[in-house]
Amino acid sequence: MNSKTAGKWINVSEMRQFRDLDIITFENGKINYSVLESTENEINLKVKKVENRSENLSDSNFKFINPNRIRFYRKGKKHTVINEIESKTEDEIFEYDYVRLLPTESKLSESRIQLLKYNFEWNNEKGIIEFNKILDKPETFEILKKTGYKGRKILLEKIDSTLLISFFRNNHKGLVLPIKEIDENKAVLCGLPLEPYEMIATRIN
């Protein structure tokens, strides 16, 4: 392992190789995989190594997008449904992006952070980051929860010294953004799936 590949790297792409969110480490020319598991009522995520799952770095097709973001190009199959009785399968090159986990810069406690609300705007998308709340409209949620639907919510999670903003839908973890820096006025988030890869969310008073 050298400084260029040191540390843990989290998958920030829309594609995932495992059911759970994965991270990779580099050691002795190999890429090792682990998955992140939630612990009940804890923000700290458990790292579980994936047994018998490693790759030779020399056999991988990849490039560094920037010093803290690496992209792998992997062959796969793309399945397309044409109609009810017809589909097709094509060879495809899929992109998997990983960002290095760096310690979050903050003087705030985790409990304090979870009380704050932030506005964000990214690529013409606008939204609010508010932790531990059902984000669906109340009337919509009341109808859907009868089917077992758990709603959309945002949780604060943590790996080592890195805080994460994790977006959930029906208990399924979707977008996960490492927090680069957070204080009473703003949160700097990185690991966005498309450029710009970093955004600043401003606090709602």
Can you give the residue ranges of every domain in the chain? 9-100, 110-203
Q: pLDDT truncated to tens, each residue of the chain (205 aa)?
A: 578 999 999 999 877 777 788 999 999 999 999 999 887 767 899 889 898 788 899 999 999 999 999 999 988 877 777 777 878 788 889 899 999 999 999 999 999 999 999 999 999 889 999 999 998 888 888 888 888 888 899 999 999 999 999 999 888 888 899 999 999 999 999 999 899 999 999 999 8
CA dihedral (191, 192, 193, 194) positive or negative: negative
CA atoms within 13 A on the CB side of 49: 7
- The answer to whether the pTM exceeds 0.85 is yes
The span from the CA of 140 to the CA of 156, in Å, is 24
At residue 120's C-alpha, the angle toward residues 202 and 17, to 5°, is 125
